[in-house]
Amino acid sequence: MGRRRHDTDRTAEARADALASVVEDLAGKFTLRPLLDRILRRSVELLGADAGSICSVDETAGVYRKEADFGIACQSGRSFPLSEGMTGAVVAARAPLIFAEYTHVPGGHVAPADRATLHGVIGVPIAWRGRVIGACIVFSRDPERSFSDDDARLLELFAKHAAIAIVNARMHEQLEERTRAEATAAERERLVSEVHDSVAQGLAAVLAHLEGVTGPDGGQLAAAREAARGALAESRRWALGLAPLLLEGHSLEEAIGVEIAWARSTGNLDAKLVVAGQPAPLAPEVAHQAFRIVQEALTNIVQHAAAASARVGVVYGPDELVLMVQDDGRGFDRAASQEPGTGGFGLRGIVARARTYGGSVGVESTPGWGTQIRASLPYQPAESADPAGNRLRVLVVDDQPVTRAGLARLLAAAEPGVRVVAEIGGAPALLDAYRLLRPDVVLVDAYLGGHDGVECTRQLVAEDPGAAVVLLGATAGDPIVAQALRAGARGCVGPDADGPELARAVLAAAHGGITLSAGGRDALPRPAAPTADAAALTVREREVRDLLERGLRDKQIAERLTISVKTVEKHVGAVLRKTGASNRTEVAARAAR
């Protein structure tokens, strides 16, 4: 009797020592394979068995992976479906499982040479917070050895330690990855800050000189001061973080927080962020569009609203993300923003972004009382709202393959709602490509084949009066800009344009607006004094001209003024004749100037 108690005590002591050893192994160690090897070896020894294996499980993917084996070749490192093997049976049962003979295991992966030597087998799930993340299996080669419920309980203790090892290793890997990402971001921010400091110092010196200069051409000096101030503000904005980079490894709220910091520093705004609801994981494209909507709204407030305060709300609803941006600025006429093609480009861009992903936008504004924008984006865009076919389709025309590839990459990075459907290298194939693809916007090199950019524009507008053409690379002072606008182009972007500016031009052109880079505006001739004919516009003709300047089509003008389309066409002809504009695009261009 005393000998039996002594043997029992020695067994209990051995179990305690084995578990204590496993705990010591876990302390401060994060490399998974050695830990699992130690845990497996001790569990096999303590159960008086001969071999074993530990697998990690991914139930979502429906597979498991052999992580460690001892005393047997279980094809360590390979993955198998959860419908096979002892691990698959344990996961299906979600409880300890015992077989008297290994031959009873469905779809086992033990090599034939080892299979013939195995008899009893026991397996338990490795669980963590209600999920099965692995399985621990032990084999016996002794035909007399049969596993019991006590063995299962003991193996479950080892399985708990295996769970800790797996989770700790995964957490450590994630921590190391995040540390590397943060180090990369910190270095990137340091470089941006250094560039900003040097650029800001230069711009500040330019401003200091300009402020003290007077001369006969005060208009040009004022424009130079304004350009320098704008460049200084933009450099501060970039120093705070580029939009696409802000969403790498950060939440939407964190990225918006950086934009709010920019608005505070640049616009002297009392700007705040309010988040409501339980934050939900967002698809990258939805997060990108949400960020761009808020960024565009804040940019409009800083540049145009003359507001003292602004509030940004991010509301996580049951089925959609709601963004609210409001300010106490000067506001604007709500009637002028009813049509998607009217109002400022910022509002049109916000509407276009939301609609691209099946969302909606509501605007409330009263002159003198501020503006509120409410945009909603579904977490999972409707099938009809998001496919590639509903994105803006762009055709790129440039004779340099590297330039074409670069433009496509810039647009893809800056605006997921835009896709390049084709790239062609010259004017001869342009009309055929346009007829075949019917793109929403055509980007054409201004100096294609010498000066063919303007001629390409004429051909496209002759083919389709609604064609949206944007010229690329026009340098400051070049008369090609005015020629392109007279030919019907909807924008000219300079050679120094970045991705966001290019995307703005594409969105504006697609929705009836006109975009000119700073260099493009410099190339335009000064507006002439109104002619007698222009001054002689009737009241109705001035109404039609105002709506033309907003980019409305004849049918929209007819509905707005409650007249027929034919009457609108008559008034449009009179406006063109009296103002000297060659087409309706030039009317809008003059308004932009």
Contact 501, 493 (CB under 8 A): yes
More confident of the two residues 549 and 196: 549
User: Position 486: which residue type?
Assistant: R
Q: How far apart are CA 516 and CA 476, in angstroms?
A: 11
Q: How far apart are CA 513 and CA 505, in angstroms?
A: 8
Q: How far apart are CA 507 and CA 4, in angstroms?
A: 85
pLDDT for res 528: 45
Q: Give one word for 542, left, alpha or beta, with left for phi > 0 and alpha for psi -120 to 50.
A: alpha
pLDDT for res 243: 41
Average pLDDT in the 229-249 region? 53
Q: How far apart are CA 178 and CA 171, in angstroms?
A: 10
368 backbone dihedrals φ, ψ, rounded to 5°: 90, -5
Question: In 558-575, which positions are buried (b, 16+ CB within 10 angstroms) versus exposed (e)?
Answer: bebeebeeeebeebbebb
Average pLDDT in the 555-568 region? 81
Q: How far apart are CA 455 and CA 471, in angstroms?
A: 11
Q: Write out pLDDT tens, residues 286-330.
A: 888 888 888 888 888 887 888 889 999 999 888 889 999 999 988
Nearest Cα to Cα of residue 312 among 286, 257, 274? 274
Average pLDDT in the 440-453 region? 80
pTM score, whole prediction:
0.39
Q: Write out pLDDT tens, residues 377-395.
A: 888 765 444 444 457 888 8
Lowest mean pLDDT, pick from 17-21, 279-283, 337-341: 337-341
Sequence-distant (≥ 6) Cβ neighbours of residue 64 within 8 angstroms: 55, 56, 57, 58, 79, 80, 82, 85, 87, 88, 91, 134, 135
Q: Which two tokens stand for residue 178?
A: 């995040």
pLDDT for res 135: 93
Question: 396 in helix, strand or coil?
Answer: strand
More confident of the two residues 517 and 112: 112
Q: Is CATH 3.40.50.150 what the domain over 18-239 is classified as, yes or no?
A: no
Q: Where are the domains of the chain?
A: 18-239, 391-522, 532-592
pLDDT for res 175: 67
Which of the four CATH numbers 3.40.50.300, 3.30.70.2660, 3.40.50.920, 3.40.50.2300 does domain 391-522 have? 3.40.50.2300
Lowest mean pLDDT, pick from 88-92, 186-190, 213-217, 235-239: 235-239
Average pLDDT in the 382-409 region? 71
Task: Write out the CATH class of domain 532-592.
Answer: mainly alpha
Nearest Cα to Cα of residue 530 among 489, 474, 571, 590? 590
Q: Write out pLDDT tens, residues 449-481.
A: 665 788 888 888 888 888 889 988 877 667 788
Average pLDDT in the 204-211 region? 60
**Mean pLDDT score across all residues of the chain:** 76
pLDDT for res 289: 82
Question: In 487-510, which positions are buried (b, 16+ CB within 10 angstroms) versus exposed (e)?
Answer: bbbbbbbbeebebbbbbbbbbbbb
For tokens 């110092």, name the residue. 201
